[in-house]
Chains A and B, each alone.
Chain A
Amino acid sequence: MVSLTVNGSPHQIDADPATPLLYVLREELALNGAKYGCGLGQCGSCTVVVDGEAVLSCMVPIMLLEGREITTIEGLGTIDEPGPLQQAFIELQAAQCGYCIPGMMMSAHALLRRNARPSEEEIREALTTNLCRCGTHMRILAAIRRAGELMQAASLPAADQGRAG
């Protein structure tokens, strides 16, 4: 048994401690936002946030995550009440097929928590490990800038945006 805290809720997971977090999220917890792209830590579609930092969930065995705070895309808001990042991505129609988008948003979430007004350079830097095969990069960048604005406009510290951020 490994205990994990995902989006603020505790879970007891009955799986081999070597199981990558991604599998547990999708198969045990039905949190299907994080995507399986390569399984090799090379594409970023499985990105989630652990203790405030973006990590690749396909590479992380759950045994390393006990007692740590895991946030997935589902923790950023709901369909009825999208969080600022989700709202910005919808507003700017930043998804094409959408496969890379949860990973992109989680990398952006980690960045915006630290810094709601990142420079273009900083955004690109934060997203270097996220690939998009559809090529919607320019819209993704615009959406992240927009999310930063929304967070500031709401005049909430960026850190409070994610429910379990």
Chain B
Amino acid sequence: MRALRVAIGIAAVIFVAAAAFLLFAWRSEVPEDTAAAEARFAPELVAKGAQLAALGNCIACHTVPGRPAFAGGLALPTPFGTIYSTNITPDRETGIGGWSEAAFERAMREGVDREGSHLYPAFPYEHFTRVSADDNRALYAFLMTRVAVKAEAPENDLPFPLKFRPLLAGWKLLFLDSGEREPDPGQSDAWNRGRYLAEGLGHCGACHTPRNPVGAEDRDRHFGGGEAEGWQAYAINTESKAPIPWDEQDLAFYLRNGWHEFHGVSRGPMAEVTGNLAFLPDSDIAAIATYVRSIMGAPTPEREQRAAQLREAFEGQRPEQAADSQRSPVSASGGQPGEAIYLAACASCHEGERRQPFGGLNFELSTAVNAPNPQNIVNVVLFGLPPADGEASAVMPAFRYLLDDQQVADLLAYMRERFSEEPPWAGLVEQTARTRSGTYKVAVRPSDGIERAPHHVGAEED
């Protein structure tokens, strides 16, 4: 009898706790706005929204390669399962056509959809919560004036407990610090603007900050390097491995143009980011550079010294165009197998006379060979850099049909040893094999990124 009473007692407590949690997790539905999709907006507001959407890189996740822009359905692999992006065109049934501005603002601010369901943090509301009401209004105007596309996103493929969205309220309680931030009066306007853009819509940290085991950004390692779509997003804090430390000007140039003489070209998902940033005014790009540079901190004197040597070695030395590309190849006899491959297949461009962005980056300048994880070089060796459509762009041929896993591993081991002081990479053969087979998924894009969006070369279309 007693045991029964205890059991009933425990059950009651659990029940009450569960009910309290559900109440806590519950969000009301914002009534459907049947006229939303027909609303008219001032052209200037829509134009501003277009810029903001580019800054937010919305198109990248909300578009399946080769299908209409913003119609959602892109599979986003996460460590927890696959999440499909939603349709954010103004279609009433399958998109956000019935969303009022209030519903949109709430989604950005709190990560809750119009019906009141919690959204997964694959939608980076940890960042979007910082977006001002004015900017949300412009974004809303832009999205509501896109072509409405009827497209239902496939159902998310998540294990049971994660399918239960109210749990996300608990996640948010722990990790979502919502709302706009006050400007820091001790910093310049440019810095504050830069922080607003980079930490808010720009959501740099979504890729460049490592995540904790439950998928939230590890705030103690802000900008300490993360991962996106099979690519390493390098550390852009004091741990940056760039041989020539970034300065504000170089960073602004890179974000503006998608390449820098001392750092190479943007690629992978970053190509899309720099492609998109083309829509922003120079002042905003400069502001982002100011802010991010401040997070990187001052380089150590040893780094500075090394950088000065590199600058001298690589600044303005090389002619714009190689006068003669037909040079006799370097002899590859002797040495380790990786060296022979490097000299025969890589050196002609990477130690050639063409400058960025059309020549190969000299690996003395490469962040990739110094990175803790060789993934980006594995990706580029196997898949190359596909050319952009209809314009001059950086390009590198793919070597996946020519080099087997062992050869790629030998090559990378050689490059690491020759161009970096860091310890050797481990497990190169397996990593190459996983990347080649697609077990490890990599999205491969042309270097102009966005110009070809929504068509992403090489991306798996499920």
Contacts and interface: CB of A to CB of B under 8 A. Distances in A.
Contacts of B348: 39-40, 59
Interface in A37-71: 38-42, 50-51, 53, 55-56, 59-61, 63-64
Contacts, number: 76
A18 B344 contact: yes
A128 B397 CA distance: 11
B325 interface: yes
Contact of A42 (B66, B395, B402): B395
Interface residues of B, number: 31
B119 interface: no
Nearest to B404: A64
A20 to B, nearest CB: 6
Interface in A5-33: 16-20
A41 B66 CA distance: 27
B-side binding surface: helix, strand, loop or mixed? loop
Contacts of B158: none
Nearest to B401: A53
Contact of B329 (A19, A38, A41, A64): A19
Contact of B354 (A20, A40, A128): A40
Contacts of A63: 332, 340-341, 344
B333 A16 contact: yes
Nearest to B403: A64
A130 to B, nearest CB: 10
B377 interface: no
A128 B457 CA distance: 11
B380 to A, nearest CB: 13
B345 A60 contact: yes
Given A16-B332, A17-B333, A18-B340, A59 B326 contact: no
A17 B348 CA distance: 15
Contact of A55 (B322, B349, B401): B401
A-side binding surface: helix, strand, loop or mixed? loop
A19 B322 CA distance: 20
Interface in B324-341: 325-327, 329-333, 340-341
B344 A17 contact: yes
A80 interface: no
A160 interface: no
Interface string A108-138: 0000000000000100010011000000000
Given A60-B345, A61-B344, A41 B397 contact: yes
B396 interface: yes
Contacts of B325: 38-40
Contacts of A41: 349, 395-397
- Of B329, B340, B343, B352, chain A has the most CB atoms within 10 Å of the CB of B329
Interface in B380-425: 386-387, 389, 395-397, 401-403, 407
A129 B401 contact: no
A133 B283 CA distance: 39
B349 A64 contact: no
20 contacts: A16-B331, A16-B332, A17-B332, A17-B340, A18-B330, A18-B343, A19-B329, A40-B325, A40-B352, A40-B354, A41-B395, A42-B358, A55-B402, A61-B340, A63-B341, A63-B344, A64-B402, A64-B407, A128-B389, A129-B395
Interface of B: 66, 322, 325-327, 329-333, 340-341, 343-345, 348-349, 352, 354, 358, 386-387, 389, 395-397, 401-403, 407, 457
Given A18-B329, A64-B407, A128-B387, 7 more contacts: A16-B331, A18-B333, A40-B325, A55-B397, A63-B340, A121-B66, A129-B386
